[in-house]
Amino acid sequence: MFKSSSFHTIDPKSRVIIPSRFRAHIKAFGNGVMISNMDGCLYAYVLDEWMKIEKKILSAKSRYMRQFKRFFLGNACECMCDKQDRILIPQSLKSYAGLEKKIVLVGVLDHFEIWSRERWDNEK
């Protein structure tokens, strides 16, 4: 599970180092999925948790859920740690969340959030 928060920087190639306390959980469950959300940050799930969400989403048929699927799934991307324990944040998601150099990773049990430092300071 993901807990705690920490400050990080995005390198010039849009990569961020994953904190060691998150790595074991990520490596135990393999790749993950990164999505945008209504909070103005990014959510990152390990694949096992993401599959549970997908299962719930697929069964929903309302107009609201179709819009929800378009927004969240249309911007979703697979993410994985490289050999230096970094993940690449795609430019589209980086722009959506207003991520520049300084960011905050926040553990929220079944996923972690990626916030711009400025938005995080305003959110608190």
Domains and CATH numbers, the chain: 5-123 (3.40.1550.20)
CA dist 41 and 107 (Å) reads 13
Mean pLDDT of the chain: 90
Tell the residue number behind the tokens 């959980």, with chain if given.
Answer: 25
Query: Could you tell me what percentage of the chain is helix, strand and coil, using 3-state DSSP and rounding each to the nearest 5?
Result: 40, 30, 30
Q: In this predicted structure, what is the pLDDT of residue 44?
A: 94
pLDDT digits (tens, 9 = 90+) for 73-104: 888 899 888 999 999 999 999 999 999 999 99
Rg (CA), the chain: 14
pTM of the model: 0.90
